[in-house]
Structure 1
C-alpha cells in the first residue's frame, strides 16, 4: 500500500463546535470527520480544504483535552500559530471571510514574492494567512 507524507496542523479551541462553524462558513473548510463525546462535545475533528492533490487538512479538538502542554492563544496572551492556506483568489476568499465575521488583520495585498494574500484571526486567536503563492509550484 503506497504511503504519502503530510503535515497537518492540530489546534485546540475553547469552543470547538463554534470553531468548526466559523472555519466552514468563513474560510471554506469542509467537515471530514467529527467525533463527539457522550456529552455531545467535540473530541476530535478533521476539516479539509481544497480537492485532490491540492487539498489540505486541519485537525482540532477542545481545550479541555490535555495534550502535552498545548495552550490556547488567549492563555498565553498572544499568537501561538499561523496556518498558511493556498487559495486561487485571495480577494474573493477575503470577502467571504469578512462577510462571515472574520477579523481581517492585513490585506488583501501583494507580497514581494509574488503572492496576493490576506491575514485573518479566527475566534480562537489563531492566525490564518490565505495566499496565491503555492510553494509546490515554485
Structure 2
C-alpha cells in the first residue's frame, strides 16, 4: 500500500515550551523539529511518536478560531500504544489529569484517557485503526 496523504494534528498552546516538555516526559514523544522566533518563543515544533507526529506552536487569538478543542471542547487525539498500563503510569507521574483510567473495552482494546497541561483530551490504547502490520509505537 502506498500512502499519499497524512493527517497531522496541529495544537496551539499558551505555553508551548511547557507543553513540549510535558508531551516528551508524560507521553513519550520525541522532538523532531523546534523552530523559535527571535524572542525565543516556539513558532513551530514537530513531535514524533513512532511513525506519527503532532505539530504545535503558540496560542494566538488571530490564528485560532473560537471553540478551541481544549478547555471543554468535544474533540480529542487518540494514540495507539503497545503497553497501555506502563504508558498510563508515565502520564500520571508527569501530572496528566486522568479522565478515564485504563480499562478493557468490549472490542478488545485496552485504553485510558487524560488531559494534558492545557486541557487537550488524549486517549491511548492498544487499538490500531489502520492495522498496519499490527505494529504500534512502543511506549
**Which of the five TM-score ranges fits, normalised by the shorter chain?**
0.7 to 0.9
Question: Normalization by structure 2: what TM-score?
Answer: 0.86
Deviations 1:78-110 (A, max 9, x none): 125300000001101000111111111112001
Which ranges in structure 2 are unaligned for 5 or more consecutive residues? Answer: 135-139
Residue 23 of structure 2 is aligned to residue 23 of structure 1: yes
Which ranges in structure 1 are unaligned for 5 or more consecutive residues? Answer: none
In the TM superposition, structure 1's runs of 4+ consecutive aligned residues that sit over 6 Å from their partners are: none
For the 8 Å contact 2:67–2:73, the answer to whether it is kept is no
Map 1:1-138 → 2, pairs under 5 A: 4-50=4-50, 55-64=51-60, 66-67=62-63, 69=65, 72-73=68-69, 77-137=71-131
> Which protein has the bigger helix share?
1
Q: Note the aligned Cα RMSD (angstroms).
A: 2.0
Question: Normalization by structure 1: what TM-score?
Answer: 0.86
How many residues are aligned here? 131
